[in-house]
């Protein structure tokens, strides 16, 4: 759950748009935050809590992700907004929930992995950083004392909780009109839910003040100046025909007087694309992960194989730059189904249509394809991985 219902007036003039929708680089801050979670394979559902007046600006900022987000209107306080979001999540019966501040745009996979490896049904997880500044207690511009930094840490988000426990905590706080909590960990503490700490990320800054924008812009520029680690993989697959009444290509059912012979659904195009994605990780091929000798993969949809490869890619922080598929067949005609194929891949890969190319060609009556004995597919994928290219 990502909280983005605040007005953020400390970050700038009250006449400006809320800070979470201001641009950081070429994208709004909230775009960066949402995209970080969408790219992690362990995240299954995202609820975005927004201000009731922000639906239009939210659509402008996150329209690309609209099919993957559940939009919920927040309340007059952060605490009420969080409860609204938790109630919206309940129907999905989640085991755990991240609660994240939408003004933190830089969440790394490493931090999310650490949270997932630490969370248990008995305790929540809180990322923290040790306090480095000397702390003073002040009254009316007079220093009263210096506070020891021992055991003092600053809290970050995302904070992760067993779902039912944190929902119960928020409901109880509402019931007794307890409204002075500054984060969800504080509610968990009050409710009696143990919290475990893990090291936070110094780059996981919260944009609160106007000067924080400068810090965020500098960090983003530094990330963009790295020479990107772009990897390209190829995949090739071929299947013969057998008697049938349809075949499947790129996940789309195409009526035909034959079908493709294979252990799974024989989607030759998705098989080639799966191999191309696996190649960018040096992770073998589809047969390595799903041996045709294993009966559990009999008649399985090839989308399952593709999503497996996509999960490996995302776990490594990979972002697909583009995919290119060439289907080689005398028949059936691919053109009438090309748009549906692209739309299906858009949904699976979470990329825009300008990053997907699907082409078809014949083999000019040559070879087994020319004789109408089967179909082949060639796929190429380019994937951007985090970090600098190794020197």
From CA 38, how far away is CA 361, in angstroms rounded?
A: 35
Q: Which fold has domain 2-225?
A: Spore Coat Polysaccharide Biosynthesis Protein SpsA; Chain A (3.90.550)
Q: What are phi and psi of 364, to 5 degrees?
A: 55, 40
Cα separation of 16 and 23, whole Å? 12
pLDDT digits (tens, 9 = 90+) for 72-87: 999 999 999 999 999 9
Q: Could you write out the DSSP letters of every residue in 5-22? A: ----GGGS-TTSPPGGGS
326-375: per-residue pLDDT in tens?
999 999 999 999 999 999 999 999 899 999 999 999 998 999 999 989 99
**Segment 166-194 mean pLDDT:** 96
pLDDT exceeds cutoff 60 at 12: no
The pLDDT, as a whole number, for residue 298 is 84
Residue 9, pLDDT above cutoff 70: no
Where residue 225 falls among pLDDT bands split at 50, 70, 90? low
Residues in binding site: 237-239, 263-264, 271, 285-287, 361-364, 368, 371
What is residue 331's DSSP assignment?
S
Q: Which residues are annotated as a binding site for a divalent metal cation?
A: 237, 239, 271
Give ranges for CATH 3.90.550.10 in the chain: 2-225
Confidence of residue 138 (pLDDT cuts 50, 70, 90): very high
Percent over 90 (pLDDT), the chain: 75
- State both tokens at 97: 């929930």
Among the residues of 21-96, which ranges form H helices?
Answer: 29-38, 55-62, 78-89
Residue 222 has pLDDT above 80, yes or no: no
Predicted local confidence at residue 219, as pLDDT? 86
pLDDT band at 264 (very low <50, low <70, confident <90, very high): confident
Instruction: Return the CATH fold of 228-388.
Output: 60s Ribosomal Protein L30; Chain: A; (3.30.1330)
With both helix axes pointing from N to C terminus, report the angle between 338-349 and 302-315 in degrees, rounded to the nearest 10: 40
Which whole number is the average pLDDT over 210-239?
85
Cβ 153 vs Cβ 129: under 8 Å: yes
Residues carrying CATH 3.30.1330.50, the chain: 228-388
pLDDT at 155 over 70: yes
First to last CA, the chain: 39
pLDDT at position 304 is 92
Is 179 a residue whose pLDDT tops 70? yes
Percent of the chain with pLDDT over 70: 95
The answer, yes or no, to whether residue 176 has pLDDT greater than 90, is yes
pLDDT at res. 391 = 39
Residues 6+ apart with CB under 8 A from 56: none
Across 155-164, 170-179, 223-232, least confident range: 223-232
* H helix and E strand count, the chain: 12, 19
Which tops the pLDDT comparison, 360 or 391? 360
9-23, 26-40, 320-334: least confidently modelled range: 9-23
Dihedrals phi, psi of 117, to nearest 5 degrees: -80, -15
pLDDT tens, position by position, 46-61: 999 999 999 999 999 9
pLDDT averaged over the chain? 91
Q: What is the pLDDT, as a whole number, of residue 387?
A: 63
């Amino acid at each position: 759950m990502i909280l983005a219902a605040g007005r953020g007036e400390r970050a700038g003039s009250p006449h400006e748009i809320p800070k979470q929708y201001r641009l950081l680089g070429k994208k709004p801050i909230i775009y960066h935050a949402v995209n970080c979670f969408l790219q992690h394979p362990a995240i299954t559902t995202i609820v975005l809590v927004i201000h009731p007046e922000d639906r239009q600006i939210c659509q402008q900022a996150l329209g690309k992700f609209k099919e993957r987000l559940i939009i919920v209107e927040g309340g007059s306080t952060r605490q009420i907004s969080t409860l609204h979001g938790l109630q919206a999540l309940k129907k999905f019966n989640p085991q755990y929930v991240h609660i994240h501040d939408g003004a933190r745009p830089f969440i790394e996979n490493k931090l999310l992995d650490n949270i997932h490896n630490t969370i248990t049904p008995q305790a929540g997880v809180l990322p923290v950083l040790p306090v480095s500044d000397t702390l003073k207690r002040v009254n009316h511009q007079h220093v009263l004392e210096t506070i020891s930094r021992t055991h003092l840490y600053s809290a970050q988000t995302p904070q992760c909780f067993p779902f039912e426990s944190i929902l119960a905590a928020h409901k109880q706080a509402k019931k007794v009109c307890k409204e002075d909590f500054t984060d969800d960990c504080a509610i968990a503490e009050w409710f009696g839910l143990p919290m475990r700490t893990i090291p936070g990320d110094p780059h996981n800054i919260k944009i609160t003040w106007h000067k924080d924008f400068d810090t965020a812009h500098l960090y983003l520029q530094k990330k963009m100046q790295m020479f990107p680690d772009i990897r390209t993989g190829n995949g090739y697959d071929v299947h013969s025909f057998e008697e049938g009444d349809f075949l499947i290509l790129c996940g789309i059912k195409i009526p035909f007087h034959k079908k493709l012979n294979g252990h799974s659904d024989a989607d030759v195009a998705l098989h080639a694309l799966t191999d191309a994605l696996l190649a960018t990780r040096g992770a073998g091929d589809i047969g390595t992960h799903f041996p045709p000798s294993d009966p559990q993969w009999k008649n399985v949809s090839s989308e399952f194989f593709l999503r497996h490869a996509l999960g490996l890619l995302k776990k490594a922080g990979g972002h697909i730059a583009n995919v290119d598929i060439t289907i080689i067949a005398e028949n059936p005609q691919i053109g009438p189904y090309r748009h549906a194929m692209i739309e299906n891949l858009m949904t699976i890969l979470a990329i825009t249509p300008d990053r997907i190319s699907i082409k078809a060609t014949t083999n000019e009556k040559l070879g087994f394809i020319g004789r109408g004995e089967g179909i082949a597919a060639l796929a190429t994928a380019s994937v951007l991985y985090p970090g600098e290219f190794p020197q």
